[in-house]
Chain A
Amino acid sequence: MNQDISGGLDNTRCPEIIKILSLGRRSGRLFLNNGSATGNIFFRDGEVIHAQCGALQGIKAIYELAVWTSGEYTFSVDETPDIVTVDMPVDTILSEATNRIRQMDRIVSLIPSSTIVYAFDPDIKEKEITLKSIQWKVLAQIDGKKSIADIAQHIGLGVSDTMKVFYTLVKAGLLHEAYLAEVESTLDLIGLPDTPFIRALKDDLTRAVGPIAPFMITETAREMNIDLLAEDLEQKAALVETISSKIPSESMSLKFLDTMTDWIHTEAM
């Protein structure tokens, strides 16, 4: 196997790689791995001929891979697929992929991670709600325990498409984050102090890693011998830095670091 291009998806996203391989009229397999899922895109003389991502195949798989913002990629020359599932000019694929990325950026501003768990909001404001069948399919899976990624896998839809459905449902006021409520109740259970710093830390970490956030905070504080009630800014910064290094997704880790650094900077003023 001859690997001649590789790198990180945080610097170069999938559509850019497709464009480079297409312009170079390359043949082979582009393998992508974002830490929790993998995908393949096959090229013949610069044209995309097959793609696969989890259970998705063809153009849907490409659109799913296009929105990944972290992970790694490797291109291996001259590997050929057994089947052909894509028959579309690269320019058309790239144009739609770019639209998807724009859409995804908007979705991520409301739903930052596919690890988030949603529950039904009992206070619906609308008098009448009309749902599409795919929205109903997703709603039927919501139980306050399954994450968006779990539901995507369950109904055989791409994670990005499932997040899009969630975006509409959350916007319509049908859902709210289940974890935050659950985490509130686990705060007492595991003895996390209720201070503005710990609340901010817990909320941001929950967005990045889900309901294990309070456990991660106490465990890291214990390992570092840090008193969570201490007002020492250096200790707070050290705790945040160590926790950020434990977040598996690089983009989520940077997002967490971004918000918490802001918090500590404000406190330091």
Chain B
Amino acid sequence: MKGTVKDLLKISGVHGYAIVRDRNIQIKLPSKHRFAGAKNQIKILYDDLMQAQKRPGNTIEIYLEDLVLTVFISGITMLMVLSSTRVNLALVRMTGKLVIANLAKEKF
């Protein structure tokens, strides 16, 4: 296991991901996905979650009607995994924890 975003995309039911670091946002989603152009909304969520007292922990699951947003935070880095509600969520959390640990180590 390399613990990279590619490992996340291999999980059946994962649509894509967004990585936010300070002012940089990288979104990897199918072009027609309804979150594909949601840069501003993701940035608002990031700004809110960066305030540690506003979040329940460093791994957060947000359930929407037809998809789940699994958010991982380490320092000023946020990884958001977008998946269907039928995904193996424990596997997403396990892989996501490894990915965020590696992302947090990267120099940027």
**Chain A residues, Cβ within 8 Å of B95:** 261, 265
Q: Are A268 and B101 in contact (CB under 8 A)?
A: no
A262 to B3, CA, bound (A): 9
Question: Which of B28-36, B44-52, B86-94 is the contact stretch?
Answer: B86-94
| Chain A positions near chain B (C-beta within 8 angstroms) | 10-11, 233-234, 237-238, 240-241, 244, 254, 257-262, 264-265, 268
Contact of A254 among B7, B12, B89, B101 (CB under 8 A): B101
A259 to B98, CA, bound (A): 11
Q: Are A257 and B94 in contact (CB under 8 A)?
A: yes
| Chain B positions near chain A (C-beta within 8 angstroms) | 1, 3, 7, 10-12, 75, 88-91, 93-95, 97-98, 101, 104-105
Closest A residue by C-beta to B1: A262
Q: Are A268 and B88 in contact (CB under 8 A)?
A: yes
How many A-B Cβ pairs are below 8 Å?
A: 52
Main secondary structure on chain B at its contact with chain A?
helix
Q: Are B93 and A258 in contact (CB under 8 A)?
A: no
Q: Are B12 and A241 in contact (CB under 8 A)?
A: no
Q: Are B90 and A237 in contact (CB under 8 A)?
A: yes
Q: Are A265 and B1 in contact (CB under 8 A)?
A: yes
Q: Are B98 and A264 in contact (CB under 8 A)?
A: no
Closest B residue by C-beta to A239: B90
Known: A258-B1, A259-B1. A264 touches B91 (CB 8 A): yes
Q: Are B91 and A233 in contact (CB under 8 A)?
A: yes
Q: Are B94 and A261 in contact (CB under 8 A)?
A: yes
A265 to B94, CA, bound (A): 11
**Chain B residues, Cβ within 8 Å of A233:** 88, 91
